[in-house]
A and B are shown apart, each in its own frame.
Chain A
Amino acid sequence: MNIDSIKNGIVIDHITAGKGMDIYNLLKLDSLDCSVAIIKNVTSVKMGKKDIIKIDADIPINMDILGYIDPGVTVNIIRGGERVEKRSISLPDRLVNVIFCKNPRCITSTEQELPHIFKLTDPANRVYRCAYCESKASGRGI
Chain B
Amino acid sequence: MKRSLIDICDLSTEEIEEMVDVAKDIMRNPQKYSEKCKGKKLAALFFEPSTRTRLSFEAAMYELGGNVLSVSSADSSSASKGESVADTARIVSCYADIIAMRHPKEGAPLVAAMNASIPVINAGDGGHNHPTQTLADICTVSLEKGRLNNLTVGFCGDLKFGRTVHSLIQALSRYSGNRFILISPEELNLPGYIKKDVIEKNRIEYVQTTSLEQVMPELDILYMTRVQKERFFNEEDYLRLKDSYILTPEKLKSARSDLSILHPLPRVNEISVAIDNDPRACYFKQALYGKYMRMALIMKLLGIEP
> What is the interface of chain A, defined by CB distance below 8 A to chain B?
103, 105-111, 113-114, 121-122, 129-134, 136
Interface check B23, CB cutoff 8 A: no
Contacts of A136 in B (CB 8 A): 193
Is the beta-carbon distance between B197 and A107 smaller than 8 angstroms?
no
What residues on B are CB-neighbors of A108 within 8 Å? 107
Partner of B85, one of A106, A111, A130, A133: A111
A132 x B197 contact (CB < 8 A): no
The residue that A105 contacts in the complex, of B84, B111, B127, with Cβ under 8 A, is B127
- Nearest neighbor of A134 in chain B, beta-carbon distance: B128
Query: Between A and B, how many residue pairs show CB distances below 8 Å?
Result: 49
Q: Is B110 an interface residue (CB 8 A)?
A: yes
- Tell me the complex Cα distance, A24–B108, Å: 34
B157 CB within 8 Å of chain A: no
Q: Is the CB of B197 within 8 A of A133?
A: no
Residues of A within 8 Å of B108, CB to CB, are: 107, 132
Query: How many residues does chain B have at the interface if contact means C-beta atoms less than 8 Å apart?
Result: 17
CB proximity to A under 8 Å, residues B175-197: 193, 197
Interface residues of B in 103-146 (CB under 8 A from A): 103-108, 110-111, 125-128
Please give the distance in Å from A82's CB to the nearest CB on chain B.
Answer: 45
Cβ-defined contact, B193 with A107, below 8 A: no
Seed contacts A105-B104, A107-B85, A131-B110; 7 additional CB < 8 Å A-B pairs: A105-B128, A111-B84, A111-B105, A114-B86, A132-B110, A133-B128, A136-B193
Residue of A nearest to B166 (CB): A134
A122 to B111, CA, bound (A): 23
Min CB distance, A116 to chain B, in Å? 11
Q: Are A111 and B126 touching (Cβ within 8 A)?
A: no
Residues of A within 8 A of B84 (CB): 111, 113
Quick check: B197 and A105 within 8 Å, CB to CB? no
> Is B193 within 8 A of A133, CB to CB?
no
Residues of B near A106 (CB, < 8 A) are 105-107
What separation, in Å, do the CA atoms of A31 and B111 have in the docked complex? 33
Q: A105-B126, A107-B85, A133-B128 are in contact. Are A114 and B105 (CB under 8 A)?
A: no
Whole-angstrom distance between the alpha carbons of A105 and B197 in the complex? 21
Given A111-B86, A113-B84, A133-B128, A105 and B106 touching (CB < 8 A)?
yes
Residues of B close to A103: CB separation below 8 A: 106
A114 contacts B197, CB within 8 Å?
A: no
Interchain CB contact under 8 A, B107 and A130: yes
B residues near A107, Cβ cutoff 8 Å: 85, 103, 105-108, 110-111, 125
Docked pose: A136 CA to B111 CA in angstroms: 19
CA distance A67 to B106 in the complex (A): 27
Asked if B111 and A133 make an inter-chain contact with CB atoms under 8 angstroms apart, the answer reads no
Q: Which residues of A contact B111 (CB under 8 A)?
A: 107, 111, 114, 132
List of B residues within 8 angstroms of A134 by Cβ: 106, 128, 193
